[in-house]
Structure 1
Amino acid sequence: MRKFASACLLLLFVTFNAQSADEGAEEYGYYGFEPEIVTNYISNRKKLGFVRISVELMVKNPNDLVSIERHDPLLRAAIVEILGNQAEDKIKSLSGREEVRRECYEMVNRLLEKETGRAMVVNLLFTKYLYD
């Protein structure tokens, strides 16, 4: 009888914790720019350099994806402008790439705040990053 009571208490505890975890879990959504973003950057060589990236925007509320899709051209243009103004050393280094990612993230949120009244993006991810 004692083992049965212990098993019931353990089952109750596990069930309660699973429900609490589900209630506390946040639902995120992702918006990917299609097609990939391809643009030129300032190269140290005489040849023009280019960068090709895939960008995913992470939002806390999946309902915000509609607003982000509506402003896709504005956000894409801002990212292209940021990438196009970077030096070759920054594009090709890991620390420089992180700086560019943060700059894009901040710009996207500033634009969304201006257009919608609030910043929606929780994170901006480069899922592909190729350069020449």
Structure 2
Amino acid sequence: MIALLFAATLSTTALAAAPADGETAAKPIYYTLTPALVGNYGSGERLKYYKADVALRVATAEAQAKVEHHEPLIRNQLILLFAEQTDASLSSVEAKETLRQEALKQVRDVLEQEEGTPLVDDLLFNNLIIQ
């Protein structure tokens, strides 16, 4: 009797821990552009540098594969965007958020031109260093 009760308790615990099919499909995938983007920005006598660790959020593994395939084009677009920046466009939290939104727009535009769909749900700066 005790063994039967123990077996019933163990099986209900295992069922409760198993994820439903809908839960695993809803989890986003984060694709990190590696190595980090590094370059110069602004103009003037003194060189200014940035280093940006960027992650792209996609919904499916298929979208991740397509983003990975187009990574050189995405990196190029982001490097060009960062090169256009000034001290004012990188100095405050609001300015960095504006830059993040513009970077997301540019990545989505590139992917829409190449794949016919934007594929990327969000763009995140894991690290943004300005010197």
Q: Give the TM-score normalised by structure 2.
A: 0.79
Tell me which amino acid in the other structure corresponds to 1:64: A
How far is the alpha carbon of 1:92 from its aligned partner?
2.1
Conservation of the 8 A alpha-carbon contact between 1:82 and 1:104: yes
Whole-Å separation in 1 of the counterparts to 2:37 and 2:91 = 16
Count of aligned positions: 114
- Classify the secondary structure of the residue corresponding to 2:34: coil
Counterpart Cα distance in 2 of 1:24 and 1:67: 23
What RMSD in Å do the two structures reach over aligned CA positions? 1.8
Match for 2:84: what amino acid? N
Match of 1:116 in 2: 115
Runs of 5+ in structure 1 lacking a partner?
1-10
Amino acid across the alignment from 2:90: I
Corresponding residue for 1:102? 101
- Partner Cα distance (1:68, 1:102) in 2: 18
Percent identity for Structure 1 against Structure 2? 27
Q: Contact conserved, 1:30 with 1:62, CA < 8 A, in 2?
A: no
The normalised TM-score by structure 1 is 0.79
**4+ residue segments displaced more than 6 Å:** none
Say whether residues 1:61 and 2:57 are aligned partners: no
Q: Report Cα offsets for 1:79-131 as digits up to 9, x if no partner.
A: 00011001111112211111111101001001101101101101000001101
| Equivalent in the alignment of 2:39 | 39
Q: C-alpha distance in 1, partners of 2:27/2:62? A: 10
Deviations along 1:56-85, one digit per CA (max 9) or x if unpaired, are 000011221111111101000000001100
Matched to 1:128, the amino acid is N
Structure 1 contact 27–62 (Cα < 8 Å) conserved: no
